Structure 1
Amino acid sequence: MPSNLQYLSGSEIRTLFLDFYAQRGHQILPSASLVPEDPTVLLTIAGMLPFKPIFLGQRTPEFKRATTSQKCIRTNDIENVGRTNRHQTFFEMLGNFSFGDYFKEQAIAWGWEISTKVFNFSKENLVVSVFESDDEAFAIWRDQIGVTEARIKRLGADDNFWASGITGPCGPSSEIYYDFHPERGDDNIDLEDDTRFIEFYNLVFMQYNRDAEGNLTPLANKNIDTGMGLERMAQILQRVPNNYETDLIFPIIKTAADIAGIDYTTSDENTKVSLKVIGDHVRAVVHMIADEIRASNVGRGYVLRRLIRRVVRHGRLIGISGEFTTEVAETAISISESAYPNVRQDEDAIKAELQREESNFLKTLERGEKLLAEIIAKLKEEGKTQISGESAFTLYDTYGFPLELTQEIAEENSLTVDVAGFEAEMEIQKERGRDAHETIDLTVQGSLDKLAEHINVTDFVGYTQPTATAKVEVILVGGVSQEEADAGTSVQIVLDKTPFYAESGGQIGDRGYISGDGIVIRVEDVKKESDFFVHFGRIERGTIRVGDSVTAQIDAGCRRRLQANHTATHLLQAALKKLVDEGISQAGSLVSFDRLRFDFNCPRPLTPEEVQQVEEQVNTWIAEAHAAKVEILPLAEAKARGAVAMFGEKYGEEVRVIDFTGVSMELCGGTHVSNTAEIGVFKIISEAGVASGVRRIEAVSGSAVLDYLNVRDKVVKDLSDRFKVKPEEVPERITGLQNELKNTQKQLEILKGQLAIAKSDSLLQTAESVGDYKIIVAQMEDVDAASLQTAAERLLQKLGKGAVVLGSVPEAGKVSLIAAFSPEVNKKGLLAGKFIGAIAKICGGGGGGRPNLAQAGGRDASKLPEALDKAQSELKSGLA
């Protein structure tokens, strides 16, 4: 590693970069959210993404030059995280941007200047690459910068033609590499050799737009988009062998290692990989949650859940058996908060989400790992090397065990997984359970962008009209524009006029039909893309063509339910503000046909009395029959009148105001009843916390209340029949049964403890003397963890100065271990927590505890005798 480089922290590198370009007329802008505005991209993957509309000419830039440190997430190479020197899911991209201002010559000159003058890289340590046909860039590097031709490499489109995606802004690029071994000379330079070269700065000459067919058209302006990898710069300047050992990530790794009771520097390669995965992924999830992403099974929520689960999984691989993610998250927050204050501001939400996901996944792991261990054991007995797709799908479908986790564990056991078989099983399930709702294809937006100049924007008439005569503007099949489509085809249709409300503001889209001459299309969902309403449905009869005249008709019954639930949501917020806290504000909502959900900011749970009062207040307003007044007002006037706006929502200069006089006034584009009496009745069915400081109320209104009560009435009648009591006596009967069960469990625990003590007394005869100490190391049959601890403590009490280590297999495949050490043993440097944690690793587990008493667990019962032998030899050597 070169010794002429000045050590710089990650924070110092970031500051020097931004200051350099600020001094050259660039506006320093904050990092955009990891949730991009661009609907075609799941997560922010590059520094240029927030500026994509500017590059496309869709937005006029406020500044001609800008510089940022942009946080990014990429998961396409997730399996390489921790295994290579420079793959991360989360990284920071330092960038300088020109929007139709300077171009190649100035970008290259400044790129060289900051590299050699600010970061003091010797020119002998730098190599550059250019796109194979970019003679202009080649000449600038050679003639103006003075780089020798031998150190300018021409590369193809895979390396030096950058694009933000399949479609969108793109252009040739030029990259700057750091050469760790210039002494090897300029002959046969191979930039793919990452033991010698690292690419740290990419200069993209953004001058084209690529469409879905791959055609390139010149952009209105020639732009500059650059990216300098902060982590890569830190690796070079901090003289460490990989990105993970920089001050941007290593403190997180150190925290995880400390929790596991291990030393990163002396760990084997597999352990280091796990620690690196934890370091990278924890950094990623902290920033994702701070940007309001929450774990789920779809989209970016699934990315978050997958990363958290990988952290937990790798924690277990290094011996951490309990919950630990919030502790390592605290380190990630500490090292990030100076540049990104929001991670500290959202600390409670971050830790709450991590704790919830980790707790749930630990339960999943326990169930799934047990079954997977049985599957693997059977395969090894049969001499097979592949887990079937059916088995992998059972783990996924029944136990929530992710496919990628099954693959990881399989790889650890030198096995493979039949992924094709898994996908086939998944498709069968989808066909069995496919419902009417069809999620929007990201290619829809791209297709509409291309057609935008040739079609009319949708005229929404659904506030006052349940039907409309309209013309078919666009037909999309799988997101691809078609002139016609036949019966049986799933389509996305854009009309010039529609009564269908498109999903927005928490309210789901209308359902209904589009019909015409011999044509019937069932509309299952409606979404809004820019100014176009996209109707998702299936053609039930006939052939539909672009230009056809059709009738669009909503399902009036479904609309009435939506209106009732949406207005009830407004009344609910008003009641919460009135009865609980005026400062309550909306944090999210869902208005569906059968229910409503309202998330709100509140630091505490509501009391049962408050929930009842809120429900009664809403029903009072319903009974009072308040009429709705709908107005379009200037935003400033609406706010001056007291209209409630949703925090963080973007509004235009004019807004739609829904006013139930004296009760509720909100900015809202949704559909509502004309009078609160139309709602009928309102019932809260649950109130719970969903994140730190955020509560959720779920409720039903109108006819859905009757459905809700009918279901519960049936349950009560069933319980009455089973217990042979009156309905009002059911709670008392259940309480009695619960008390009986608790008493029985207590008696059982007492008997187990007594049995363990009885068994343990016979072990006193096996005690060995080691100098002045006595030790007992033994396996007890059919003893659970709690009873094992009771036995160990009793034995140590009788031994006096000594140590006891006991193991048991309380259930198939599960190992329990207990260590009890006297104070004198502790003084010899033997600590029960650290000792038993290391022993448990032999059984594929881990654990810890106090110096005098600790417990651990494992998954491989066949290794218990080996683990106990190791414990005995370690005690003898430690006490000798």
Structure 2
Amino acid sequence: PIDALRKTSGSTEFLGYTTTESTSELIGIIAEKQLVDELEEVGHTDPIGVVLDQTPFYGEAGGQVGDTGVITGGGFQFDVFGTQKDGELIVHFGHLRRGMLSVGATVTTQVASEHRAGIRRAHSATHILHHALHQTIGEKATQRGSVVKEDALRFDFAHGKSLTRAEIRQVEDIINARIAEGSEVGTQVMDLADAKKLGAMALFGEKYPDRVRVVTMGDFSVEFCGGTHLSNTGQVGFCKITSEEPVAKGVRRITALTGPRALERIRETEDLLEEMVKILKTPQPSDLPRRVEVLQEELRDAKQELAKQSSQSVAGTIDELLAAAEEVDGVKIVACVPENGTREVLRDYADQLRSKNIPIAIVLGAEVDGKAALLTCVSKGLIERGVKASDCIKVAAKVAGGGGGGRPDMAEAGGKKPENLEEAVAEGAKFYRGKLEG
């Protein structure tokens, strides 16, 4: 349908650089992938596409998202949730809320001003960020892509390693210094050759027409750009970098917030600090690191004491386990599921049982975090007889709904069925018995 509309209507004139409202003619309606002359279905599920002869709505391009807003006229209201550019046409996507759309109707357009303002802040901040990166890590940090939304931006750039914390802070400082300067933001359409003479930065791999739009900021930034911008860098208000990460070999990504969203992020951080101060009962946020260190030390000491007591508790039951263990061909088979067991407790049992220096085959189980944990081990002399812990664990783990492996003398596994632990341990003991009797 777009191709047919393009043949009959040509293009949409974009008015959005100078205004956010207009009186326009409705020249195309796209519903269910077809051109229609009229539409009066209110509450339709699939979005409708509306094309005008001229519009202040920016169609998504160059990484900048499309505008939102409303189109009205003749008793109808059409809410626009997104705008796309298709060749020379701009398509407004949305839903009819009341009335009837008809081709040829005169309509009034109104771009959502707050949404557009947030996009302008983020887009202008993107250009300042590009400049700040050049100042911090060099001019080889060229743009590799970007996404600009309402008070949020994502900027990809060429760089072979992660930025240090100091570099990120320097970039952020430069951005906010340029914002504070309140430099004029200017736009001009000129010949491509003249733009290059001015030193305009181009997007890597992008092809440009003979006539291009150039956006300048003070004396520090000159870039090819077709997006919507502020008239003064001070209007960004504030910019906060939220992350820096790799996205491809030799390409890094910075995400940042501007204006109200940047301020909101700062307040969220302050609220979190305040909550931590209350929970950890420290006089000031600056006391938090030391308080956390103290708690870590206390936790480490408590774990060591618990491990000591646990080991003593295990030691007290070793003789009982050996006395109750089945003996096959001179080998003790210890199979049990200790109460309140952990993986560390199972290993402690295994170490203390093997320290008795007698022929022994062990299979132990415990429920850990809602899952089955299994451990098997054998004295080294049994490996030569073909009795291996790594074989036993596979048999036991299968019953517990899992798998695992390890060395011939010791192996571990996990499973999704902790309710089958007793059966799994019994199956492991049966495996040992069969090997020893065979």
Give the drift of 1:757. 4.1
Separation of aligned partners in 2, 1:752 and 1:645: 66
Give the drift of 1:825. 3.1
The structure-2 alpha-carbon separation of the partners of 1:867 and 1:724, relative to structure 1 and needing over 3 Å to count, comes to closer
Q: Is the 8 A contact 1:774 1:799 kept in 2?
A: no
The residue identity in structure 1 corresponding to 2:11 is V
Question: What SS is found at the alignment partner of 1:623?
Answer: helix
Q: Aligned match of 2:37 in 483, 504, 510?
A: 483
1:304-348: CA deviations, max 9, x gaps? xxxxxxxxxxxxxxxxxxxxxxxxxxxxxxxxxxxxxxxxxxxxx
Is 1:521 aligned with 2:75?
no
Is 1:705 aligned with 2:262?
yes
Give the drift of 1:843. 1.7
Is 1:857 aligned with 2:411?
no
Separation of aligned partners in 2, 1:519 and 1:559: 23
Residue of structure 2 equivalent to 1:452: 6
The residue identity in structure 2 corresponding to 1:515 is T
Q: Aligned match of 2:376 in 816, 819, 828?
A: 819
Give the drift of 1:535. 1.1
Separation of aligned partners in 2, 1:830 and 1:636: 81
Residue of structure 2 equivalent to 1:660: 217
Residue of structure 2 equivalent to 1:286: none
Residue of structure 2 equivalent to 1:564: 121
Q: Is the 8 A contact 2:147 2:153 kept in 1?
A: yes
Separation of aligned partners in 2, 1:586 and 1:826: 61
Greater RCO, CA 8 A, separation 6+: 2
Give the drift of 1:531. 3.0
Give the drift of 1:620. 1.8
Is 1:472 aligned with 2:49?
no
In the TM superposition, 1:591-602 aligns within 5 A as 591-602=148-159
The structure-2 alpha-carbon separation of the partners of 1:847 and 1:591, relative to structure 1 and needing over 3 Å to count, comes to same
Separation of aligned partners in 1, 2:144 and 2:395: 46
In the TM superposition, 1:594-633 aligns within 5 A as 594-632=151-189
Separation of aligned partners in 1, 2:33 and 2:2: 9
Residue of structure 2 equivalent to 1:404: none
Name the structure where helix makes up a greater proportion of residues.
1
Separation of aligned partners in 1, 2:404 and 2:192: 59
The residue identity in structure 2 corresponding to 1:788 is L
1:263-318: CA deviations, max 9, x gaps? xxxxxxxxxxxxxxxxxxxxxxxxxxxxxxxxxxxxxxxxxxxxxxxxxxxxxxxx
The structure-2 alpha-carbon separation of the partners of 1:648 and 1:838, relative to structure 1 and needing over 3 Å to count, comes to farther
The structure-2 alpha-carbon separation of the partners of 1:657 and 1:863, relative to structure 1 and needing over 3 Å to count, comes to same
Relative to the length of structure 2, the TM-score reads 0.85
Give the drift of 1:721. 5.0
Residue of structure 2 equivalent to 1:304: none
1:177-227: CA deviations, max 9, x gaps? xxxxxxxxxxxxxxxxxxxxxxxxxxxxxxxxxxxxxxxxxxxxxxxxxxx
The residue identity in structure 2 corresponding to 1:781 is E
Separation of aligned partners in 2, 1:640 and 1:877: 86
Question: What SS is found at the alignment partner of 1:837?
Answer: helix
Is 1:683 aligned with 2:223?
no
Question: What SS is found at the alignment partner of 1:566?
Answer: helix
The residue identity in structure 1 corresponding to 2:166 is E
Q: Is the 8 A contact 2:392 2:432 kept in 1?
A: no
Q: Is the 8 A contact 2:39 2:101 kept in 1?
A: yes
Separation of aligned partners in 2, 1:776 and 1:816: 16
Question: What SS is found at the alignment partner of 1:798?
Answer: coil
Segment drifting more, 838-847 vs 713-722:
713-722
Give the drift of 1:656. 3.3
Give the drift of 1:595. 2.0
Structure of larger gyration radius: 2
Relative to the length of structure 1, the TM-score reads 0.45
Give the drift of 1:547. 0.9
Separation of aligned partners in 2, 1:535 and 1:481: 14
Residue of structure 1 equivalent to 2:342: 784
Residue of structure 1 equivalent to 2:284: 726
In the TM superposition, 1:193-232 aligns within 5 A as none
The structure-2 alpha-carbon separation of the partners of 1:788 and 1:524, relative to structure 1 and needing over 3 Å to count, comes to same
Is 1:839 aligned with 2:393?
no
The residue identity in structure 2 corresponding to 1:491 is I
Give the drift of 1:764. 1.8
Question: What SS is found at the alignment partner of 1:815?
Answer: strand
Separation of aligned partners in 1, 2:325 and 2:249: 52
Percent identity (aligned): 37
Q: Is the 8 A contact 1:781 1:809 kept in 2?
A: no
Residue of structure 2 equivalent to 1:492: 49
Q: Is the 8 A contact 1:474 1:546 kept in 2?
A: yes
Give the drift of 1:819. 1.5
Separation of aligned partners in 1, 2:304 and 2:218: 59
Separation of aligned partners in 1, 2:284 and 2:412: 48
Is 1:808 aligned with 2:366?
yes
Question: What SS is found at the alignment partner of 1:687?
Answer: strand
Q: Is the 8 A contact 1:683 1:699 kept in 2?
A: yes
Q: Aligned match of 1:537 in 94, 106, 125?
A: 94
Aligned residues: 433
Separation of aligned partners in 2, 1:853 and 1:799: 15
The residue identity in structure 2 corresponding to 1:796 is R
Give the drift of 1:750. 4.2
1:701-728: CA deviations, max 9, x gaps? 2333333333444444444455363344
The residue identity in structure 2 corresponding to 1:806 is L
Separation of aligned partners in 2, 1:816 and 1:808: 5
The structure-2 alpha-carbon separation of the partners of 1:483 and 1:608, relative to structure 1 and needing over 3 Å to count, comes to same
The structure-2 alpha-carbon separation of the partners of 1:856 and 1:519, relative to structure 1 and needing over 3 Å to count, comes to same
Give the drift of 1:683. 1.9
Question: What SS is found at the alignment partner of 1:836?
Answer: helix
Separation of aligned partners in 2, 1:579 and 1:840: 55
Give the drift of 1:758. 3.4
The structure-2 alpha-carbon separation of the partners of 1:518 and 1:644, relative to structure 1 and needing over 3 Å to count, comes to same
Q: Is the 8 A contact 2:395 2:427 kept in 1?
A: no
The residue identity in structure 1 corresponding to 2:255 is E
Q: Is the 8 A contact 1:456 1:473 kept in 2?
A: no
